[in-house]
Structure 1
């Protein structure tokens, strides 16, 4: 039985989707314990074709909106626990297992981000600063920090 759903909203993500989904398929949590749902906002490239062999479900929505794509994917999920992963993201090997653990006794959770080695030093420094700010708000018992999507 699936315990958690990983929803990946997409729109013309052919450059990143295979890497993202391959990464999500190779987690420490047993693959039978989670599902991968791709929620596509009517891509005009090969995103859907590349995602088909790597996702459990693919749903296509007509509206081109990150928020609508996430909501559409959440409705298609078969579990009450849902985590969202952007298509250009490479999750750590323990990401899904960690999300499952974090959500067991929580209503919602969020986490810091980190840069890839190939990113410029400026981008890597920005992500380190952003992650530090996020962790500080939790340490100060004021865990409210705005998120973003690039």
Structure 2
């Protein structure tokens, strides 16, 4: 008999997409008596809850919590031996669940999921950012929370999602799965269509600001490449105006300050370019279009601005937390 699976869906103000998510789950090729669906609403102020309840699924409201706590609450209610997470702005493919369950029968696999895809009618920002997975199965460093499946036993053994994180909780759990000695696997059949991707460059910046607000905590290690690039980009952005101001105030050091300013400009222009080239080579090999490279370059400019703002917020929060700890220790 196939294992029973509990599908957990966190939701917040997703009236636009949640019906499409639930409709896709109704089309799964997995037996309907072998899975259930629980939606954990994080205090939506729109019609998300009403729409969800119209599908005759379990809906619980847990307001003002970080997404990790919302997902963990869903697992606490889960009846299944396997827990499958999908976001309320995602559509799954018919074999999303059956393929994942089959993969989890491999005892070396700790977690399985899929990449994010976009609709055929997606805008250029979405289409440039997303590249379909060509391999049927591949090992990966992390899974997105919008398609994340694992046994409930291992989930509890690892302590679930980190409830202190507002973003990056999926990367964090993926890393702990690997530290426990298991593989993290991406399957092409487990890819999901992400309906809520940013559709503008400003939207990309805002999303990355949110992701970046916990990037220090969610980084795999101190050598995390993205974290280092974000730090370099941030330092360059801060150094540029300082160097230009110093050129006017300290004319005797203008050559040094000019060198610093030019180095900053090169970093601000070069880091997004390197990231764009790396992404294209990673997903499309050496054969890629110049148009897509230009599109990715524009996206990465806004991406790193968002990450920079998030990093500043990350340090600000950590500093205030340390100050509170010091004040508490003095009492």
Q: TM-score of the superposition, structure 2-length normalised?
A: 0.39
Matched, 1:34 2:40: no
Give 1:63 deviation, angstroms: 2.5
- Higher RCO (CA 8 Å, separation ≥ 6 residues): 1
Q: 1:119 aligns with which of 95, 118, 122?
A: 122
Q: Which runs of 5+ in 2 are unaligned?
A: 147-206, 208-331
- The number of residue pairs the alignment matches comes to 143
Q: 1:144 aligns with which of 141, 156, 160?
A: 141
Q: Which has the higher helix share?
A: 2
Q: Distance in 2 between matches of 1:148 and 1:83?
A: 10
Q: CA RMSD in A?
A: 2.5
Give 1:91 deviation, angstroms: 0.5
Q: Distance in 1 between matches of 2:143 and 2:59?
A: 29
When residues 9 and 40 of structure 1 are mapped into structure 2, their CA distance, relative to the original with a 3 A threshold, is: same
Q: Distance in 1 between matches of 2:145 and 2:65?
A: 17
Give 1:12 deviation, angstroms: 0.8
Deviations 1:29-71 (A, max 9, x none): 1211111110110111111110013253111112242222111
Q: Distance in 1 between matches of 2:121 and 2:113?
A: 24
Q: Distance in 2 between matches of 1:46 and 1:20?
A: 15
Deviations 1:95-150 (A, max 9, x none): 12122222233322232221111212342232107x46xx6x93xx6x31464776
After superposition, residues 1-150 of structure 1 pair within 5 angstroms as: 3-105=4-106, 106-128=109-131, 131=133, 138=138, 143-145=140-142, 147=144
Give 1:15 deviation, angstroms: 0.7
Contact 1:2 1:35 in 2 (8 A): no
Deviations 1:58-91 (A, max 9, x none): 1111224222211111111111211111111011
Q: In terms of Rg, which structure is larger?
A: 2
When residues 63 and 104 of structure 1 are mapped into structure 2, their CA distance, relative to the original with a 3 A threshold, is: farther
Contact 1:36 1:55 in 2 (8 A): no
Q: TM-score of the superposition, structure 1-length normalised?
A: 0.81
Moved more, 38-47 or 52-61: 52-61
Secondary structure of the residue that 2:113 maps to in structure 1?
coil
Contact 2:8 2:74 in 1 (8 A): yes
Q: Distance in 2 between matches of 1:53 and 1:62?
A: 21
Contact 2:86 2:145 in 1 (8 A): no
